[in-house]
Amino acid sequence: MSLTTRAPSPFAASSANGNCPHDLVLRSSDNVDFHVHKTVLFLNTPKSFHTVDDPASQSNASEASDNLHAGLPVARVKEPSAVLRRLLLLCYPQPIPSSAIDVLDHIHLVYRAAHAYNMRRVCDIIRSTLLSRIDADPYRVFAVACSLTLPDTARAAAVGTLKNPNALCSGEYEVSEFSLISGLCLTALCRFRNQCVHASCVAVDRHRYVANCPSDEATAAFGDLCWWSTKGHSRGCGATVAGTGRDCTLKSTGWFKLHMARVYDAVRDTPCSTAAAAAVLDYTACLPCISRCNLCVADAPKQLQVLAGILRTDVDAQVHTVAERWRF
């Protein structure tokens, strides 16, 4: 009696593969037999598998009605069947239907196995898979990449986590892959986020305050944005100049000041360029004020569009600068 079980398709011993018969059995650590082709393994790994003629497989086959694979050499491997199956699927040319499986499940073990067998192509595929999953699962990819010491992937995933509001400590983003990494990796992620918040807030602040007006280059940089203009507004609207000489400062029109305070809060919560741009474009709360001024009605919507684009670029650049300094 055999204590082994057969792996499901496409690694089962089956007459469906009669035109290209399996010539090797890989037996997982939990005794599942995977019927494979030596050539496919040879194309993926320089390592050879030490085989033994397996008496169990021979006696089993003689009893079974299906004896196509009788007497195949058997190689024991140390991977469990769940990992071996994923590894072998990546070795074969047909793509895995990604909808059918959770591609991140066990992926760190599959990568370690691929690395141990020196399967470069498979390692490349797994690294691309991790990158492609950052949008959907940044915390899981971060943890997996940290555990595998893939610093570039970990950094990209850390940037990917920024698009979520800050709730890491609430456990909202807790993923099982956190068990793969140390507390140091998680606190590093928190510190990285804090630095990105600070840098993004700096980017917002550049558009909130203008000092030393009116000849100063900062004023010139803002050009003719309506909220920085002292002229042409209806009564009660428009930028104002306070002080004289070197102490002179320009203050933006009231609705813009309140609006940028909300943008600042949004970026402090979610330090990413998408959140920054969305906050700039969400100016419904300002509409009552804007609608009372002909200049602002005419100019504010399109100029806020411009500001959203500028801030998107600025926040991206700030986050990029912070991320470059990190190695997770």
The CB-of-228 to Zn ion minimum distance in angstroms stands at 11
Interacting residue with Zn ion among 225, 277, 293, 315 (CB under 5 A): 293
List C-alpha distances in Å: 74 to 32, 54, 118, 302: 11, 6, 21, 70
The beta strands (E) that lie in 68-210 are given as 73-76
Long-range contacts, stretch 128-136, CB < 8 angstroms, 24+ apart: 129/103, 129/104, 130/104, 130/157, 131/156, 133/103, 133/104, 134/160, 135/160
Cα separation, 278 vs 256, in Å, equals 15
Phi, psi of 229 (to 5 degrees): -90, 135
**Among 291, 312, 273, 295, residue whose Cα is nearest residue 228:** 295
Q: How does strand 249-251 pair with strand 240-242?
A: antiparallel
Q: Which is nearer to Zn ion, 143 or 197 (CB)?
A: 197
Please report whether residue 267 would count as binding Zn ion according to CB under 5 A: yes
For 259, the 3-state DSSP assignment is: helix
The CB-of-236 to Zn ion minimum distance in angstroms stands at 9
Q: Which is nearer to Zn ion, 77 or 201 (CB)?
A: 201
Q: Are 70 and 51 in contact (CB under 8 A)?
A: no
Segment interacting with Zn ion (CB under 5 A) among 25-33, 79-87, 131-139, 266-274: 266-274
Q: Which is nearer to Zn ion, 75 or 322 (CB)?
A: 322
Q: Which is nearer to Zn ion, 176 or 274 (CB)?
A: 274
The CB-of-294 to Zn ion minimum distance in angstroms stands at 8
Please report whether residue 88 would count as binding Zn ion according to CB under 5 A: no
Q: Which is nearer to Zn ion, 39 or 240 (CB)?
A: 240
Please report whether residue 203 would count as binding Zn ion according to CB under 5 A: no
Cα separation, 308 vs 317, in Å, equals 14
Please report whether residue 268 would count as binding Zn ion according to CB under 5 A: yes
For 262, the 3-state DSSP assignment is: helix
The CB-of-221 to Zn ion minimum distance in angstroms stands at 20
Segment interacting with Zn ion (CB under 5 A) among 111-119, 155-163, 185-193, 234-242: 234-242
The CB-of-211 to Zn ion minimum distance in angstroms stands at 19
Please report whether residue 207 would count as binding Zn ion according to CB under 5 A: no
Residues interacting with Zn ion, by CB under 5 A?
Answer: 201, 233, 237, 264, 267-268, 293, 295-296
